[in-house]
Amino acid sequence: MYYNSTRNSSLKLSSAEAIVKGISDDGGLFLPNEIPSVTLAELKTLGDLPYSKRAEHIFKKFLTDFSAEEIEMCTSKAYAPENWDTDTVTKTVTVGNAEILELWHGKTCAFKDMALQVLPYLLVTSAKKTNITKDIVILVATSGDTGKAALEGFKDVKGTKIIVFYPEDGVSPMQKKQMVTQAGENVLVCAVKGNFDDCQNGVKEIFGSSDFDYLLADYNAQLSSANSINWGRLLPQIVYYISAYAELLKENKIAENEKINIVVPTGNFGNILAAYYAKEMGLPVNKLICASNKNKILTDFLNTGVYDRNREFFTTISPSMDSLISSNLERLLYLLSDENCIKYWFEQLKTMGKYQVPEDVSAKLKESFFGGYCDDTQTVKTIEKIFGEYHYLCDTHTAVAVNVYEEYVAQTGDKTKTIIASTANPCKFSNAVLGAVGGDTSLNEYAQLDELKKICGIEIPPQLNELKSKEPIYTDTITKEEMKEYVLKYIKGNNI
């Protein structure tokens, strides 16, 4: 197996090379040239293994240039019980007809930990395998959760530096506090005037400027990415869908080969793309349900075949899904078409802010995906309703998924067993969640956590409570145009 780019199918990189580079020089994303399979027999075997071994098994199929020892090192360290607040790493809770797959039992209380705990090991191992001796500078654009999870994963990892950019007013107070109080010798956190897409574009521009790599080389450094454009982020996300299926099978909640639906609250399209990969590997999946908030560019795309970025950007109570740039859609479209189409569509996106895929591609998309969305009012109502009916408290992002799933069932009458990806601990978005269950939202965010505990009987993660007594370390705010200079200044001043 080798890795090529969505904009150049003749490239042949090893997985280690693809992971270190993060993004291809042609602006495309790396992906494996074939999709390996997973069989029913394997799914049965995986059900009896701990999470780290399930990950090891799936990783071996994609990282064919890694030795068995290297993979085992990465997965056993990342998915060691001490990094998670549950022995099983993920947790599944039955709510009505659906199984809620909680992916937020890691250090930062959001699903990003699932991939960002293992990415530093993959990256450092990849650098070693490809004889890279330069220091690796990780640039991150975040809508809140990736930033903190990447900081936790990369802090004090030798040979790496990490710089996180977040939108000044686009993250929750808890998310911001988590980031600006981050300890670690090799980290830097900075606010950007603008929204998440401004941060993403700024980082992309730095990656795309050819002079920058030369400049960095003078300081024995090179760039890489911890955003979901990096294959090393995608791969770990495939594992939990397969793992969840194996678990349901083991508990006799589904029959052998029984198909399931998977619902994913979506922003950059990374998480749901991982579910698509699991499906293409042979996991029995009926529909992938793509749930968006008021920034419903993907709902419109799945329904019409037109991807149109010329629209208003909304700031919502599910901020980690506030994006009009669904980066990973490029990988899906490549799988359904070819590099020439990709180059054409993404050129159109650049110049006109929109593109349209032909009917046959649109039909293929509709075969696998259902797209729906809900606004903030419906999100709040869903939290209230699910808590009222099942005494289950979900965060705002998960609530969007639950709402869209209910709409899907109402429209189709589909009774297929369904997994809903739950992407954050409700405590991370305390204001909206507390409001939904009738609590006093005039309190500060820590008092809100106490209220949530009182009203809903949930445990408050100690790492969130502890933020109360921490002072911010990082207070810089810059414009998008200043990002490049900021990175360079930091690297010049901090020869690692």
Ligand X SMILES: *Cc1c(COP(=O)(O)O)cnc(C)c1O
d(CA 240, CA 201): 29
The residue with tokens 């890691």 is 106
Say whether residue 320 binds ligand X (CB under 6 A): yes
| Smallest separation (angstroms) from ligand X to the CB of 256 | 30
Contact assessment for residue 165 and residue 200, using Cβ atoms and an 8 Å cutoff: no
Placement of tokens 């609590």 in the chain: 439
112: annotated active-site residue: yes
Tell me the chain's radius of gyration from C-alpha atoms.
Answer: 21
Q: Does 419 bind ligand X (CB under 6 A)?
A: no
Binding-site member from 84, 317, 397, 464 for ligand X (CB under 6 A): 397
Token pair, residue 468, equals: 């109360």
Q: How far apart are CA 408 and CA 299, in angstroms?
A: 12
| Contact string 93-122 vs ligand X (x = CB under 6 A) | -----------------x-x----------
Nearer to ligand X, 268 or 299 (CB): 268
Structure tokens at 143: 């809508």
Are 79 and 52 in contact by the 8 Å Cβ rule? The answer is yes
Q: How remote is the C-alpha of 85 from its chain's centroid?
A: 20
- Reduced 3-state DSSP string for 319-330: HHHCCCCCCCHH
From 143, 74, 119, select the one nearest 226 (Cα to Cα).
Answer: 119
Least Å distance, CB 289 to ligand X, is 13
Collapsing DSSP states into helix, strand and coil, what is residue 100? strand
| Beta carbons of 291 and 404 less than 8 angstroms apart | yes
Does 59 contact ligand X by CB under 6 A? Answer: no
Q: Where are the beta strands (DSSP E) in 349-474?
A: 354-356, 369-373, 418-422
Nearest approach in angstroms of CB 426 to ligand X is 11
Name residue, tokens 């569509």: 345
Shortest distance (Å) from residue 459 CB to ligand X: 19
Least distance between ligand X and beta carbon 122 (Å)? 18
Q: Report, in Å, the least distance between residue 378 CB and ligand X.
A: 16
Distance (Å, whole) CA 54 – CA 51? 5
Using CB under 6 A as the binding rule, whether residue 431 contacts ligand X is answered as no
Tell me if 21 contacts ligand X by CB under 6 A. no
Strands, sheet with 30-32, edge to edge from the N-terminal-most edge strand: 8-13, 3-5, 30-32
When the beta carbons of 216 and 402 are compared against ligand X, the nearer one is 402
Q: Which of 21, 107, 112, 129 is catalytic?
A: 112
Q: Which one, 55 or 272, has the nearer CB to ligand X?
A: 272
Q: Quick one: tokens of 187?
A: 């980290």
Residue found by looking up tokens 């895929």 in the block: 357
Our CB check for ligand X shows the closer of 267 and 439 to be 267
Binding-residue pattern over the window 236 to 275 for ligand X, x denoting contact by CB under 6 A: -----------------------------xxxxxxx----
Task: Please pick, from the candidates 145, 152, 376, 451, the single residue that binds ligand X as defined by CB under 6 A.
Answer: 145
CA separation, residue 366 to residues 218, 265, 320, 361, 369 (Å): 49, 17, 25, 9, 5
CB of 266 to ligand X, least distance (A): 4
Determine how many CB atoms are found less than 10 A away from the CB of residue 10: 7
- Is there binding between residue 293 and ligand X (CB under 6 A)? no
Output 66 or 207, the one with its CB closest to ligand X. 207
Kindly state the number of chain residues that form the binding site for ligand X, as judged by CB under 6 A.
16
What is the smallest separation between the CB atom of 318 and ligand X, expressed in angstroms? 7
Nearer to ligand X, 110 or 281 (CB): 110
CB nearer to ligand X: pick between 266 and 379:
266
28 is a site residue for ligand X (CB under 6 A): no
Nearer to ligand X, 75 or 425 (CB): 425
Cβ atoms of 260 and 284 within 8 Å: the answer is yes
Identify the sign of the CA torsion 43, 44, 47, 53: negative
**Which one of residues 15, 90, 200, 228 is an interface residue with ligand X (CB under 6 A)?**
228
The residues carrying an active-site annotation are: 112
Residues in contact with ligand X by CB under 6 A are 110, 112, 145, 228, 265-271, 320-321, 397, 423-424
